[in-house]
Structure 1
Amino acid sequence: MGQATPLPRRGADDLGGRSAVVAGGSRGLGLLLADRLTARGCAVTLAARDGAELDRARAKLLKRQPAATVRTAVCDLRERADVRDLFTATQDACGGVDLVIANAGIIQVAPLESLDAADFDDAMRSIFYAALHTSLEALPYLKESASGGRLALISSVGGLLGVPHLLPYACAKSAVGTLAEGLRAETSGTEVSVTAVYPGLMRTGSHLHAMFGGAQGQEYGWFSTVAGTPLVSMNAQRAAERIVRATVRRRARLVLTPAARAADLAHGIAPAATTRLSGVAARLLPRAPVRPRGMREGKDIDPPRGPVARSVQRAGSALNERAADAYNERDRDTPER
């Protein structure tokens, strides 16, 4: 999967003989987290809805580490019964569950005028309830772990402040962050640790699977450009390594990327000023069309028109496009842009 990341040193970070579940592990950050766990000797179960995508993810992991133990489980994380079956099957196959990362979710990029309550409900079910179901079903198994269970919930910089044109995503990710910090308090004094993770933008190729509304081409253009710009976004392999390390070492909270840390600090010190700045940013983003056209997936949207806009978008998203291939974000029938 792209340039190889050095394997971690043996010692405190070694997970040899342990069992891990990555919910939302078939592509992007989830796939990279699974890679870092297998590098530490973990038997990893990847859970996601798309069976073909899971098969490709497993093949990528085994190509990089042929001796790794990688299972896949087709699972709708929005449905608690599916998640219950996931952990029962993992217990039976691996003899236990020692580490769980809840990473599943969707991204919707659109102005408020192009959204309705159903979009917020979809975000909450796919992001928050997926994390909630994963946590509730995982905890009984993690409490039985001989090494002490570890649970990590992936929130976002969007969970630290309301990001314009990403409002359903930000609301759901905020709920995930609150859940992680609350679970940390609730499990205090037990052998289980819970880590809340707040990544900023990462170069994973996620723009191809994000959903865009409003002026879809313009929304796709700004999001794919910013998400791939090195000064704003982070190398996803490095992010995955830091997340796994923080989880293994039982850290309470991890905020990734300088931009995310700056946003977290600014909102904590001057929340009103930060909100006003978000309002300024919102006025610079594309306006909603008079007749909204619903939502479309990024891979189905033509890049921005015009030589200047297209050149800027291609330059900004170049690293993200390469990441899409490496991290299983590009479907076999999705052409490069």
Structure 2
Amino acid sequence: MSDTHKTRTPSRPREQQVITSRNRFQGRAALVTGSSRGLGLLIARELADRGCRVMLCARSREELAAAEGKLRARGADVASFVCDLTEPTAPEALMTAVHERFGPLDILVNNAGIIEVGPAEVFREDDYREATETMFFVPLRLALAALPDLRVSGAGTVVSISSIGGRIAAPHLLPYVAAKFAHAGLSEGLRAELAQAGVGVTTVFPGLMRTGSHTAARFHGQPSAEYGWFAAAATLPLLSMDAARAARAIVRAAERGRPELILTPAAKAAVRFQGLAPVTTTRLLATTARLLPGPGTRPDRDVPGAEAAAHSKLPRWATVLGDRAGRRLGESRPRSS
């Protein structure tokens, strides 16, 4: 991580203008975490296309450089900062980098996340701690660090990328689900408390999207079998959504100040059904869990998606759309023959 300096909120000279939903983000400074690839990169691109000045943030210097190059080629005013967001000093260092490059922050997009797939029996307490640190405490620390800027922005906005798993506890994703539930609660609480300060908070509940996340995920238990169901669900058109369309919808919702956005028809239907029949929903989830792979006699742990794919019986055609999206968005890892 770069050397840290004491974070201060710079003065904010602003020209007076009539703010509408169409120009609300024009010229504003945005920070998008987890933006070197996948959905985060697409959200950053969408913000840049709307006239935002965008700071990218991720762990990999090489991936960030590639992402920054893609956005600069589109004419974006973009910079990047390499850091591990789980380090306690990261929020201060990141806010300093934003101030030095763009001035005060207007838009914070908390998007960084990790996905681990497997039955409950194979997960350890450390798996839950890692998921919660990345998808709850990191967004919390960044929101607190950004609040001085956001309160005086005039367009202060927090976008929280939760998940449909933050509303409905999908089986075989328990650490992810627990962290996303916590993130959603934080986001909705922040909206209630910051409304009087003029800071908007939009909580996003995406369903499955075609980003190539099936090869970036980590698998436990019987990795090849877990990969099979997860990769198919994350790729097939009837179950998943084009990620570029999702990014447009997310930025549009934030620009208009919507409190909540649920993405994909399947996710919307699931949330409505749960509201009408919560007991039946729980029974269906239990049935689904029984149909998914068990832990196996000698459970494996922490197997990368590309390695799990190499031993999977899932035919290649089933993941063609997701693989293509992953190559475009820097998410996919090569699948062995």
SS in 2 for 1:301: helix
Question: Does 2:236 match 1:205?
Answer: no
Structure 1 residue 116 corresponds to structure 2 residue 124 = yes
Q: Which amino acid aligns with 1:94?
A: F
Counterpart residue number, 1:6: none
Could you tell me which of 197, 201, 205 is aligned with 1:194?
A: 201
Q: RMSD across aligned C-alpha pairs, in angstroms?
A: 1.6
> Structure 1 residue 136: deviation in Å?
1.3
Q: Counterpart in 2 of 1:328?
A: 330
Deviation at 1:11, TM superposition (A): 6.5
Out of 134-143 and 158-167, give the one that drifted further. 134-143
Unaligned runs of 5+ in 2: 1-18
Deviation for aligned residue 1:32: 0.3
Identity of aligned residues (%): 45
TM-fit CA distance, 1:60: 1.8
Distance 1:335 1:285 in 2: 23
SS of 1:330's equivalent? coil
In the other structure, the counterpart of 1:4 is none
Q: Is the 8 A contact 1:225 1:315 kept in 2?
A: no
Report the more deviating stretch, 25-34 or 126-135.
126-135
SS for the counterpart of 2:109 is strand
**Is 1:310 matched with 2:314?**
yes
Q: For 1:13 and 1:320, locate their aligned partners in 2 and report how far apart those are by CA, in whole Å.
A: 32
Kindly indicate whether the alpha-carbon contact (under 8 Å) linking 1:217 and 1:302 is maintained by their aligned counterparts in 2: yes
1:1-337 correspondence runs (5 A): 12-14=21-23, 15-63=25-73, 65=74, 67-145=75-153, 147-305=154-312, 309-311=313-315, 314-330=316-332, 334-335=334-335
Normalising to structure 2: TM-score of the pair? 0.91
Q: Which amino acid aligns with 1:125?
A: E
Deviation at 1:75, TM superposition (A): 1.9
SS where residue 228 of structure 1 aligns? Answer: coil
SS at match of 2:195: coil
Q: Which whole-Å CA distance do the structure 2 matches of 1:320 and 1:275 have between them?
A: 29
Shift of 1:335: 4.9
Q: Are the counterparts in 2 of residues 221 and 303 from structure 1 also a CA contact under 8 Å?
A: no
1:109-136 deviations in Å (ceiling 9; x for gaps) = 0001111111111111111112112211
Change in Cα spacing, 1:271 to 1:241, as seen in structure 2 (3 Å) is same
Task: Give how far 1:315 is off.
Answer: 2.4
For 1:207 and 1:302, the matched residues in 2 are separated by 9
Residue type of the partner of 1:52?
E
CA distance in 2, matches of 1:28, 1:213: 22
On the 8 A contact 2:201/2:259 being kept in 1, the answer is yes
Kindly provide the CA deviation profile for residues 137-189 of structure 1, in whole angstroms up to 9, marking residues without a partner as x: 111111121x3201110100000011110011001001111111000001122
Query: Aligned residue for 1:3?
Result: none
Extract structure 1 runs of 4+ deviating beyond 6 A: none
Contact 1:32–1:240 (CA under 8 A) maintained in structure 2: yes
Do the aligned residues in 2 keep the contact of 1:226 with 1:317 (CA within 8 Å)? no
Aligned equivalents of 1:79 and 1:195: distance in 2? 25
Match of 2:3 in 1: none
Amino acid of the structure 1 residue aligned with 2:320: A
Q: Distance in 2 between matches of 1:279 and 1:217?
A: 22
Q: Is the 8 A contact 2:209 2:234 kept in 1?
A: yes
SS in 1 for 2:121: helix
SS state at 1:41 partner: coil
Aligned 8 A contact 1:23 1:46 in 2: yes
